[in-house]
Amino acid sequence: MYIQILYLQLNIEKIIKTQVELPLSRKVIVNLMYTENWLMDKINSELKTHDISIQQFNVLRILKGQKGCPANLSTIQERMVSKMSNTTRLVDKLIQKNFVQRATCVSNRRKVEITITQEGNTFLETVSPLISAFEHKLTSSLSEEDMITLNELLNKLRT
């Protein structure tokens, strides 16, 4: 009962401080955008303690998923969650941290291949479990059924 009352007090109109009841479709969109920003702020704050941005962390996970095979900038860009990311700049920053390396392809000199370094793998092995625990904490108010339903609804929205 208390959780229901708390939930009702935190509706999106109150959060954005409007006196107007939003149309349901706008309420959904505003709530999704607000929640996305809230999540990004939380995750970025957690990653900041490890001196890495969420986009850089995503690039590392993409490269680790390559299982030792190099990726080019377009492959990384295609797999990024945020399509607005400047992949070249992200890779440059990860090179400065010695987490990735860039090499010119022997068979096609116009092609640049990017791989994760051992230092990058070690970083991921250390930080990934911490981020997984943090993600679990962020979703702890949702049951497994809630999370399945939410994922299904978000997938449905994009179709």
Q: How many CB atoms lie within 10 A of CB 83?
A: 8
pLDDT in tens, 119-129: 999 999 999 99
Dist CA 114 CA 100 (whole Å) = 7
- Which letter does DSSP use for residue 41 in this model? H
Paired tokens of 123? 């970083």
Output the average pLDDT for the chain. 88
What pLDDT, on the 0 to 100 scale, is given for residue 1? 40
pLDDT in tens, 20-78: 878 889 888 988 999 999 999 999 999 999 999 999 999 999 999 999 899 999 899 99
Domains and CATH numbers, the chain: 24-158 (1.10.10.10)
Strands (E) in the chain, as ranges, are 100-104, 112-116
The residues pairing with 113 across neighbouring beta strands, listed in sequence order, are: 103
